[in-house]
Amino acid sequence: MHYSLVSSPVLGFDLVRLPAGDSAAEVLLRALDCGPREIDVLAARHDPATRTAAWDAVRTACDGVPQLTDVLHQVANGLARDDFADEVSGARVERGVVRVLQTSTIADADALVRLVHHDVFDWTWSAPLEGGPRLRTEDAGRAADVLADAAVSAYLGDRLPDHARRVLAHPYLQACRDLAPLPERPTGLGEAQAGVERVLDRLRRLDGTDRACLRAVAAASRPGAGEWAGAVHDASWAVHLSDRVRTAAVAQLLAVRAFRAGGLDAADGAEGLWNVVSGVVHAEVVADLLSSDARAVLLRPWEAAFGPA
């Protein structure tokens, strides 16, 4: 499976379950914030000589990262074998699924690289001429390499040797010294702006009571299927039709960082809290376009925990 800006809630689901997923989100936010000046600064830090060996380590590390669909299949087969002809209890299946969700990803590091080069940096590519290939400047490719390397370094985290992780992240960290601070809020949402900001601010400021309440609501509602999935589809379609794909992706990535800042962790992401958060953020991004029924479905768990968003 590939990551894409259109499916940014799926990307966020992986990032909140990775130890340094919030750092990967920061790099992707930087990539989405890039313009010509930022490309020049990032490209100047590109170091092809040192990154080759680091990517050998990345390939090795990727072999050890379980993919969600494969592991779920293995878990299902294992549960069936363990129980022979007996019926598997719902609680036991649920525990197995949660364990899988905490340790696996939907896509992989290569998908993250493609996301940076082709989705986030799509504006740096020329339109193909008479069926020929799309082209871009060497500096755009170098800048995308620097960003993709840093994102992969955080994405794989301690699965990489320390040296490889530092080599991949160093050019990006050096470039950031010459770049403006990242914005803390998405922009360009018009009337929807205030709703998104309220959700992100609330998420960053969670205390122990808030987290307990949100966990209880997520456990009771289990967003992820049925009408919730339909409402997410409607919100994603509204994001696409309104040309807010990049803005919605920024909002989702900021939500990843706020999720961690609020004290939520990989287990929370695996147990349904990310679905609650990403759903309400998506609903607020297209609050002016989404049907009242779909909006109500996506906001219901959040409002059950905290009142109106």
Regarding whether 28 and 148 lie in a shared domain, the answer is: yes
Regarding whether 139 and 50 lie in a shared domain, the answer is: yes
Is residue 170's pLDDT more than 90? yes
Is residue 146's pLDDT more than 70? yes
For residue 185, tell me if it sits in a domain.
no
Regarding whether 159 and 33 lie in a shared domain, the answer is: yes
Regarding whether 157 and 35 lie in a shared domain, the answer is: yes
Regarding whether 218 and 109 lie in a shared domain, the answer is: no
* pLDDT one-digit tens code per residue, 149-165: 999 999 999 999 999 99
Degrees, nearest 5: CA angle 139-30-8: 110
Regarding whether 268 and 202 lie in a shared domain, the answer is: yes
Regarding whether 200 and 109 lie in a shared domain, the answer is: no
For residue 279, tell me if it sits in a domain.
yes
| Band of residue 68 on the pLDDT scale cut at 50, 70, 90 | low
Q: Who has greater pLDDT, 81 or 190? A: 190
For residue 218, tell me if it sits in a domain.
yes
Mean pLDDT calculated for residue range 115-121:
97
With a pLDDT cut of 90, the percent of the chain lying above it is: 68
Regarding whether 33 and 82 lie in a shared domain, the answer is: no
Regarding whether 47 and 134 lie in a shared domain, the answer is: yes
pLDDT for 105 equals 86
For residue 1, tell me if it sits in a domain.
no
- Lowest-confidence region among 64-68, 83-87, 129-133, 290-294: 83-87
Domain finish residue from 88, 103, 118: 103
Is residue 72's pLDDT more than 60? no
Split into its structural domains, the chain has a count of 3
Regarding whether 151 and 21 lie in a shared domain, the answer is: yes
Is residue 86's pLDDT more than 50? no
For residue 184, tell me if it sits in a domain.
no
Range of the domain at 75: 68-103
Domain finish residue from 57, 78, 103: 103
Domain finish residue from 103, 126, 155: 103
- Lowest-confidence region among 19-23, 223-227, 234-238: 223-227
* pLDDT one-digit tens code per residue, 226-277: 788 899 999 999 999 999 999 999 999 999 999 999 999 999 998 889 999 9
For residue 13, tell me if it sits in a domain.
yes
Mean pLDDT, all residues of the chain: 87
For residue 183, tell me if it sits in a domain.
no
Mean pLDDT calculated for residue range 52-61:
89
Regarding whether 154 and 29 lie in a shared domain, the answer is: yes
Regarding whether 168 and 27 lie in a shared domain, the answer is: yes
Mean pLDDT calculated for residue range 85-102:
52
Is residue 204's pLDDT more than 90? yes
For residue 205, tell me if it sits in a domain.
yes
